[in-house]
Amino acid sequence: MSSRIDLSDHYSHFDASLSPYNFLRFDDRRWRLANSSLLFQNRLRRPDYLASFRAAGLTVVAEKAWRPDEALPDDLAERFRAYEPEDLAVVGLRLVAVPSPNALVEPEDVGG
Whether 73 maps to a domain, the answer reads yes
Rounded Cα gap, residues 87 and 24, in angstroms: 12
Whether 108 maps to a domain, the answer reads no
Q: How many domains are there within the chain?
A: 1
Whether 49 maps to a domain, the answer reads yes
pLDDT digits (tens, 9 = 90+) for 14-35: 999 999 999 999 999 999 998 9
Whether 53 maps to a domain, the answer reads yes
**10 vs 102, residue with greater confidence:** 10
| Alpha-carbon torsion (73, 47, 35, 82), positive or negative | negative
What domain range includes position 42? 2-101
Whether 106 maps to a domain, the answer reads no
pTM for the full predicted model = 0.86
